[in-house]
């Protein structure tokens, strides 16, 4: 049975580092864009499998969902920790980018906030699995936690400020406090398939509204 090794796995014969030199900038950029899309597809598949089956899910399940061979996963992510960290970073970036987009797409900042919190909660289920690979006090864990806060707290604050400015929610809620509250409600969701934190999260977000 295939498993991740503790050391990097070499590339198969005939495959390079991913840098393309074909004498044409357009071809190079196209190849790189394709590579980024393929990696994003793989990371989305891994995140879905982690949510459904945990971070120790067989690599063949991830490969099947992504529609790639297992060798492709090993080539990009030599160890399981490499893959989990990549999924973590990929989802942080997606969540961070979603905030401004939701504000632009919604007339109601509170509705944008509620939708963003939904995405944030989905991400947290995967995030909890990181503890299976890295422990608090580990340098990599601490770095990722700081990265998580640096990227997402300002986005949450932007959504809160917009909703306050629109008169939809009461002032005073800090972004980190709201994120921590949502995180506490999500604890256990990755281990108990019968636990759904979403109704409680909806109550929390609804409770921010200015009384009518």
Asked whether residue 157 is domain-assigned, the answer is yes
**100 close to 83: Cβ distance less than 8 angstroms:** no
Say yes or no: 117 and 156 in one domain.
yes
| Residues 184, 87 within the same domain | yes
- Whether residues 107 and 202 share a domain: the answer is yes
Q: Could you report the per-residue pLDDT of 181-205, keeping only the tens digit for each?
A: 999 998 877 677 788 889 999 999 9
* Residue that is last in its domain, among 25, 49, 78: 78
In a domain, 18, yes or no: yes
On whether both 47 and 10 belong to a single domain, the answer is yes
Q: How far apart are CA 47 and CA 61, in angstroms?
A: 11
Distance CA 111, CA 169 (A): 11
- What's the CATH code of the domain at 130? 1.10.357.10
CA distance 47 to 50: 5
What does the DSSP assignment read for 129-186?
GGGGT--TTSHHHHHHHHHHHHHHHHHHHHHHHHHHHTTSB-TT--HHHHHHHHHHHH
93 and 184 share a domain? yes
Q: Grade residue 3 by pLDDT with cuts at 50, 70 and 90.
A: very low
Domain-embedded: residue 13 = yes
pLDDT at 80 over 50: yes
Overall number of domains in the chain: 2
Question: Angle, nearest 10°, between helix axes 139-165 and 80-105?
Answer: 10
- Model's pTM, two decimal places? 0.76
Do 46 and 90 share a domain, yes or no? no
Q: Given 78, 108, 138, which residue is the final one in a domain? A: 78
Q: Which pLDDT score is estimated for 84?
A: 87
- Answer yes or no: do 62 and 85 share one domain: no
Statement to judge: residues 110 and 43 lie in one domain: no
pLDDT at 42: 93
Confidence band of 136 (pLDDT split at 50, 70, 90)? low
Q: Do 74 and 112 fall into the same domain? A: no
Q: Is residue 89 located within the same domain as residue 161?
A: yes
Structural domain contains residue 211: no
Report the pLDDT averaged over residues 72-87. Answer: 89
- Expressed as residue numbers, the domain containing 108 is 80-206
pLDDT at 36: 78
């Amino acid at each position: 049975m295939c498993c991740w090794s503790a050391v990097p796995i070499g590339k198969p014969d005939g495959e390079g580092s991913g840098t393309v030199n074909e004498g044409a900038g357009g071809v190079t950029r196209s190849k790189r864009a394709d590579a980024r899309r393929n990696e994003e597809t793989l990371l989305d598949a891994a995140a879905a499998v982690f949510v459904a089956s945990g971070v120790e899910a067989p690599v063949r399940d991830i490969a099947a969902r992504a529609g790639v061979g297992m060798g492709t996963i090993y080539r990009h992510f030599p160890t399981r920790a490499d893959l989990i960290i990549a999924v973590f970073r990929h989802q942080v970036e997606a969540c961070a980018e979603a905030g401004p987009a939701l504000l632009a797409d919604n007339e109601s900042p509170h509705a944008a906030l509620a939708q963003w919190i939904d995405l944030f909660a989905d991400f947290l289920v995967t995030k909890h699995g990181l503890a299976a690979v890295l422990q608090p006090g580990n340098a990599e864990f601490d770095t990722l936690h700081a990265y998580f806060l640096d990227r997402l707290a300002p986005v949450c604050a932007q959504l809160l400020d917009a909703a306050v400015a629109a008169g939809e929610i009461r002032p005073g809620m800090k972004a980190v406090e709201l994120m921590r509250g949502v995180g506490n409600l999500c604890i256990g969701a990755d281990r108990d398939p019968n636990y759904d934190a979403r109704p409680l999260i909806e109550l929390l977000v609804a409770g921010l509204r200015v009384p009518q």
